[in-house]
């Protein structure tokens, strides 16, 4: 471990992928001797690991950047210096780095909107963060080339929690659902080699971890990256391999895409002793018309059949979903179909989101034509329905 007195504060938003990426970044910095602190004002370096999936997620980050500006004396110093001399001084105080999906989405435009940010690093370039912090002095740095992450970053041995962690099986996504920014900020699907994944799980077990969650935007599409002449392993085979690892007590996976989910997966879920009987299967909408517009690749009927089979095959299982309300051109009838579906299926949990247009996506070419009040009303209706269902299920 290198000696380095600098302190880092990291805050993150977004999905589990960002939770794990944050842990990876902290592990890389710890290896370089940086200390981790829980409060931004105690830090020399502030890292914001961001999410771009909805407009609201980005709004939270912009306000955090503003808060950091106020919190640091730098802002005041910069302003007074500018008044006195007419020139903008170079940052002398805290280093602020914007990392993750927003960095990839906005690249150097971040510097125009948030001058107190010193560098931006996209999700595929997080391995470069320690080097950037080291050489950052005069110019602003943008590292958003979307290169391939080196395998090493997953093996720093740093874990935030004592007995559980996430293990990435694949990065990015090639599904291009019409509303979704993920393929644009995380790139196309990139699978890790299964031997590396198993080695990472074993290392985690060595550190006392007994529970893991396998992570990917669409885990069911996993097919191990082939290196040398090893035979390829699919997601079901990977589950079997993880189940055999001594020291693992329980494991689960997220997220599943209905189009790649099969009865075979349910049979394996039922048969593997350590695998949690839990499935997160985002439906997004109950209307076939909207599902087609979303480029989801399945129909309501297909989804309902999956649910019936899942519940029949995997006993005492849990089912959760994601739903978007207010997609462009969603009619009362489309919405009613989503309502009816949520009522019929009785999910254990449902995460309901109001549609917001995302840069580069296909859906952003359509007018975001539903008034905010309509989106809010539809959001509340499904939320209330689900609250009632969840309450009933808990009793
Ligand atoms: N890979 C996962 C999760 C993607 S992001 C999947 O395929 O389901 C998590 C959720 O955010 C999505 O399931 C979707 O419900 C929601 N979401 C994505 N883009 C959105 C947008 N533009 N507006 C509103 N919600 C969105
Ligand atoms: Fe986005 Fe669709 Fe990929 Fe999920 S499957 S990350 S919603 S493009
Ligand atoms: Fe957000 Fe990026 Fe995850 S956009 S949902 S943090 S992959």
Sheet holding 164-168, edge to edge: 164-168, 211-215, 250-254
Which three-class secondary structure string do you get for 260-321?
HCCHHHHHHHHHCCCECCEEECCCECCCHHHHHHCCCCCCHHHHHHHHHHHHHHCCCCEEEE
User: Which phi-psi region, left, alpha or beta, contains residue 355 (left: φ > 0; alpha: ψ -120 to 50)?
Assistant: beta
What pLDDT was estimated at residue 331?
98
Helix (H) or strand (E) holding 120: strand 119-121
Alpha-carbon distance of 22 to 4, in angstroms, equals: 20
Two structure tokens written together for 31:
């290896």
> Which residue(s) pair with 351 in the sheet?
322
What CA–CA distance (Å, rounded) separates 194 from 242?
A: 10
Q: Which of 80-89, 270-279, 315-324, 351-360 has the lowest mean pLDDT?
A: 80-89
* Cα 236 to averaged position of ligand 1 atoms, centre (Å): 24
Q: Helix 332-345 vs helix 372-394: angle between axes, to the nearest 10 degrees?
A: 10
Among 353, 354, 357, say which to mutate for ligand 1: greatest number of ligand atoms within 8 Å of CB. 353
Say if residue 77's pLDDT is above 50. no
Q: What confidence category does residue 91 fall into, taking pLDDT thresholds of 50, 70 and 90?
A: very low
186 CA closest ligand 3 atom index: 7
Contact 40, 9 (CB under 8 A): yes
Tell me the per-residue pLDDT of 159-171, one tens digit each, with 9 for 90 and over.
Answer: 999 999 999 999 9
Task: Identify the helix (H) or strand (E) that includes residue 251.
Answer: strand 250-254
- The reply to whether omega before 283 is within 30° of 0 (cis) is no
Which ligand minimizes its atom distance to the CA of 183?
2
Report the chain's terminal Cα–Cα distance, integer Å: 51
Tell me, in angstroms, the distance from the centre of ligand 1 to residue 213's CA.
19
Computed over every residue of the chain, the mean pLDDT equals: 92
User: Which token pair is 165?
Assistant: 């962690």
Distance 19 CA to ligand 3 centre (A): 10
| C-alpha–C-alpha distance, residues 389 and 279, integer Å | 17
- Max distance between CA atoms of the chain, in angstroms, equals 74
Sheet with strand 318-325: strands edge to edge: 278-280, 318-325, 349-354
Confidence band (pLDDT; 50, 70, 90) for 199? very high
Q: At what angle do helices 194-206 and 235-243 cross, to 10 degrees?
A: 30
Q: What is the pLDDT of residue 139?
A: 64
At residue 83, the pLDDT reads 52
Q: What is the 8-class DSSP label of residue 41? A: G
Centroid of ligand 1 to alpha carbon of 216 (angstroms): 13
* Ligand 1 contacts CB of residue 170 (under 6 A): no
376: CA distance to ligand 3 center in Å? 23
How many angstroms is it from 297 CA to the middle of ligand 2? 11
Using pLDDT thresholds of 50, 70 and 90, give the confidence band for residue 81. very low
- On the question of pLDDT at 89 being above 50, the answer is no
**Phi and psi (nearest 5°) for 178?**
-65, -25
Q: How far is CA 18 from CA 64, 157, 176, in A?
A: 17, 17, 19
Taking only the tens place, the pLDDT of each residue in 169-185 is: 999 999 999 999 999 99
Is the CB–ligand 2 distance for residue 180 below 6 Å? yes
What is the average pLDDT across 309-333? 98
Name which of 142-156, 212-226, 229-243, 373-387 the model is least confident about.
Answer: 142-156
CB 213 less than 6 A from any atom of ligand 1: no
**Residue 257 CB–ligand 2 contact under 6 Å:** yes
- What are 193's two structure tokens? 């080699």
| H-state helical runs in 32-121 | 55-71, 73-85, 101-106, 109-113
CB atoms within 10 A of CB 309: 16
Each residue's pLDDT tens digit, 24-54? 999 999 999 999 999 988 899 999 999 999 9
Q: What is the mean pLDDT of residues 264-270?
A: 98
> Coil, strand, or helix at residue 165?
strand
The residue to which tokens 């529970």 are assigned: 211
Collapse the DSSP code of 374 into the 3-class scheme (helix H, G, I; strand E, B; otherwise coil) and give the result: helix
Q: Assess contact for 268 and 294: CB atoms under 8 A.
A: no
* CA angle at 238 for the pair 234 and 243, rounded to the nearest 5°: 155
Contacts with 386 (C-beta within 8 Å, 6 or more apart), sequence order: 342, 347, 349, 350, 352
Q: Name which of 40, 235, 201, 47 is nearest 123 in CA terms.
A: 47
Atom of ligand 2 nearest to the CA of 255: 4
Domains of the chain, first to last? 7-143 (3.40.50.12160), 161-276 (3.30.750.210), 283-395 (3.30.750.200)
> Which numbered ligand comes closest to the C-alpha of 254?
1
pLDDT value of position 146: 76
Q: Distance, CA 147 to ligand 2 centroid (Å)?
A: 20
Contact between 277 and 317 under an 8 Å Cβ cutoff? The reply is: yes
Calpha distance 248→181 (Å, rounded): 34
């Amino acid at each position: 471990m290198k000696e380095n007195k600098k302190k880092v504060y990291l805050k993150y938003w977004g999905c589990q992928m960002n939770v794990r990426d944050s842990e990876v970044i902290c592990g890389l910095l710890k290896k370089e001797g940086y200390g981790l602190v829980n409060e931004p004002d105690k830090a020399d370096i502030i890292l914001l690991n961001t999410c771009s999936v909805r407009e609201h997620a980005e709004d939270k980050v912009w306000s955090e950047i503003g808060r950091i500006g106020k919190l640091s004396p730098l802002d005041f110093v910069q302003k007074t210096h500018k008044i006195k001399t007419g020139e903008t001084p170079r940052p002398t105080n805290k280093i602020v780095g914007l990392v993750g999906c927003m960095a990839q989405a906005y690249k150097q435009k971040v510097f125009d909107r948030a001058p107190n940010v010193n560098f931006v690093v996209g999700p595929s370039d997080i391995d470069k963060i320690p080097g950037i912090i080291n050489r950052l002095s005069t110019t602003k740095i943008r590292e958003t080339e979307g290169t391939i992450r080196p395998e090493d970053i997953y093996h720093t041995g740093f874990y935030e929690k004592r007995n559980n962690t996430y293990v990435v099986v694949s990065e990015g996504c090639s599904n291009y659902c019409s509303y979704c920014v993920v393929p644009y900020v995380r790139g196309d699907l990139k699978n890790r080699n299964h031997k590396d994944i198993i080695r990472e799980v074993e290392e985690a077990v060595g550190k006392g971890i007994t529970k893991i969650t396998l992570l990917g935007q669409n885990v069911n599409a996993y097919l191990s990256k082939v290196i040398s002449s090893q035979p390829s392993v699919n997601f079901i085979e990977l589950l079997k391999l993880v189940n055999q690892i001594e020291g693992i007590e329980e494991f689960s996976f997220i997220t599943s895409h209905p189009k790649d989910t099969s009865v075979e997966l349910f049979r394996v879920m039922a048969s593997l002793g350590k695998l949690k009987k839990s499935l997160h299967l985002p439906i997004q909408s109950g209307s076939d018309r909207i599902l087609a517009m979303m480029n989801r690749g399945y129909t309501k009927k297909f989804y309902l059949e999956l649910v019936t089979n899942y519940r029949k095959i995997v006993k005492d299982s849990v089912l959760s979903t994601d739903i978007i309300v207010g997609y462009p051109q969603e009619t009362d009838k489309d919405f009613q179909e989503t309502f009816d579906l949520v009522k019929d299926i009785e999910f254990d949990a449902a995460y309901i989101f109001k549609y917001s247009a995302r840069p580069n996506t296909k859906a952003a070419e359509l007018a975001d034509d539903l008034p905010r009040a309509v989106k809010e009303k539809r959001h509340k209706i499904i939320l209330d329905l689900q609250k009632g269902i969840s309450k009933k299920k808990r009793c």
